Chains A and B, each alone.
Chain A
Amino acid sequence: MFALVDCNNFYVSCERVFQPRLASAPVVVLSNNDGCVVSRSAEAKALGIRMGAPLFQVRPLIEEHKVQVLSSNYALYGDMSYRVMNYLASVVPEVEIYSIDEAFLGLHGMERYLIQPESFAQEVRKQVKRRTHIPTCVGIAPTKTLAKLANYLAKKTATFNGVVVLDSVERQWWALRQVPVEEVWGVGRQYGQKLRAMGLDTAADLAGCSEAWARKYMGGVVGARVVQELQGKPCHQLHPTADGAQARKSIACTRSFGRPLSKFDDLLGAVAAFTSRAAQKLRAQGSTAYIITVFISQNRFGPTPPPHTHSAQITLPVDTNSTPDLVRAARALLVKLWQPGVVYKKAGVILDGLEGHGQPQLSLFEQLPEVQRPQSAALMRKLDQLNSRFGPNCVQVATAVASVPKGEPAPWLGQKRLCSLERTTSWRELWEIG
């Protein structure tokens, strides 16, 4: 059996931990740079504020109903997530941290101690709430896909008290009939529309399909697994790693700028800064990459017609995780993309083709990077050590700072006008109680 523990409206819930005045008010949290709504309290959902809605579109609703609006405070969310996950890891043998606010628990071997899965789940909810003040929902089922589905139902229906257990075939079919097909884990909106057009409206309709049908119409083996998991046959196991989080298969750093940028040097600074961040994440998980993609975007709500985003990709001759190598490649891509006179709002860098370090794909024409520049790995190690000890971006590549006037924040840094305080991670912003 698997359990999926998911925190309710996680970002809003984190804000409420340290601001009790937000307790029953409508609250929304905005994305980086205060662009879109990324988390909503139940009260805000009830007002009809959509997930992902741009702030300017919902501003009338916000003003009318006095909705509390906050910038995202990722330092706080990261720390609260860590506390939740550490508790979960202490109650079950295996945890897979699926995202910042949800985790799969492996309950195999615990059957003897779980005569009543329902009461186990309620105890987990109670303890998480008590220790972190974060509300959660729990879904328990024989497969991960069904556990997700159970969690969806636990969230939607208040009378279930935050827990749905699908431990019998009857209950599984009952649950499958309640859930629209596009809400099934692994289906998504595009396949959802396709399936609806074929007359499959609920998860139950999809679970009634044969494996051969799924292979044909739902993208081969991936689709077949979705159907089997819905039928209660587990295809996906847990993927726990040392720190619980999964090694990523692709690493991205994409941000909206604090203000619109058009000069090449400003965009280069932004792209170099994002590349440095992505390279650091790459090294942190011990990988190297050989495909790098850069994109730059104009305002998609502005007057210019689409396409608003232009991107370019390059395959490097040898995989690398060195910041200077990756920044050099990103710069070459940006030269191709940048147009004079255009105002850009957003940029991003994506690293793909990740390999575990120490198993490089050799190139026929290029020497290995460690042969070309033997000090590179040691340099990167020192760079990461300095930045972790003296604060992020204490040492950077010059490209990322060359265009920034001294003493000013970089123009691509996101605006956070409405940010709450870093109560648990910063001495300066420590919680004060009278």
Chain B
Amino acid sequence: MCIVDILDIARHPVWLIECDTPVPAGFPSPADNNPSGQRIDLNTILLPHPDCTYLARVKGNSMDGPPSHIHDGPLMAVDCALKPQPGNVVVAAVDGEFTVKRLEKRDGFYWLVPDNPQYESLKIAVPDQVQIWGVVTHVVTELINGKLHDHVRSRRL
């Protein structure tokens, strides 16, 4: 049998010597000296936990109002690893159906609140009545006829 024991790792940083011998070829780029030239990767920002993030499309306008202004049609990223906090927009299962609402806490009770004032809030009186499925982290839409064109309903200007 093979027994692998995990050893304590070094407590102090190990300093490596940097070999700073550039190889000259052509003209140096003036941008080379700017160390913060890391490119921005939207994937890592929108999907920090890809294995527990699910994509869904918004249907209806119950959240079309302040502060979230989520209208009918865009994609949303739903992250299940996050702990739902009051103030988050969440996906919840209510009476066997999914719904997108804002989770709020008022006078000791949790509520599912639509941001569109034309809809009514739901008070979660019995804990088992509602399951919070995940937290909506981002809403993605597209303003041109690009690759997402077929998959989102966006407001055309």
Contact = CB atoms under 8 A, between A and B. Distances in A.
Interface of A: 20-21, 23, 82-83, 86-87, 93, 108-110, 112-113, 130-133, 234, 237, 423-424, 427, 430-434
Interface in B55-102: 55-60, 62, 75-76, 80-81, 91, 93, 96-100
A132 B81 CA distance: 9
A109 B54 contact: no
Given A21-B97, A427-B150, A433 B59 contact: yes
A275 to B, nearest CB: 34
Contact of B100 (A108, A131, A423, A433): A433
Interface of B: 1-6, 49, 51-52, 54-60, 62, 75-76, 80-81, 91, 93, 96-100, 131, 133, 150-151
B57 A131 contact: no
Nearest to A130: B80
Contacts of B97: 20-21
A228 B49 CA distance: 41
Closest 10 CB pairs of A and B: A21-B96, A131-B52, A20-B93, A109-B4, A434-B60, A431-B56, A434-B59, A432-B59, A86-B51, A83-B51
A82 to B, nearest CB: 8
B131 A20 contact: yes
Given A112-B6, A433-B58, A427 B151 contact: yes
A432 B96 CA distance: 14
Given A21-B97, A86-B51, A131-B52, A108 B57 contact: no
A196 B2 CA distance: 35
B57 A110 contact: no
Given A130-B80, A427-B150, A433 B4 contact: no
Contacts, number: 76
A43 to B, nearest CB: 15
A295 B54 CA distance: 41
24 contacts: A20-B93, A20-B97, A20-B98, A20-B131, A21-B96, A23-B93, A86-B51, A87-B51, A109-B6, A131-B52, A132-B80, A423-B54, A424-B54, A427-B150, A430-B55, A431-B57, A431-B98, A432-B57, A432-B58, A433-B91, A434-B58, A434-B59, A434-B98, A434-B100
Contacts of A423: 54
Given A109-B6, A424-B54, 15 more contacts: A87-B52, A93-B4, A108-B2, A132-B52, A132-B80, A237-B2, A424-B55, A430-B57, A431-B54, A431-B55, A433-B58, A433-B59, A433-B98, A434-B58, A434-B62
A433 B56 contact: yes
Contacts of B3: 108-109
A19 to B, nearest CB: 8
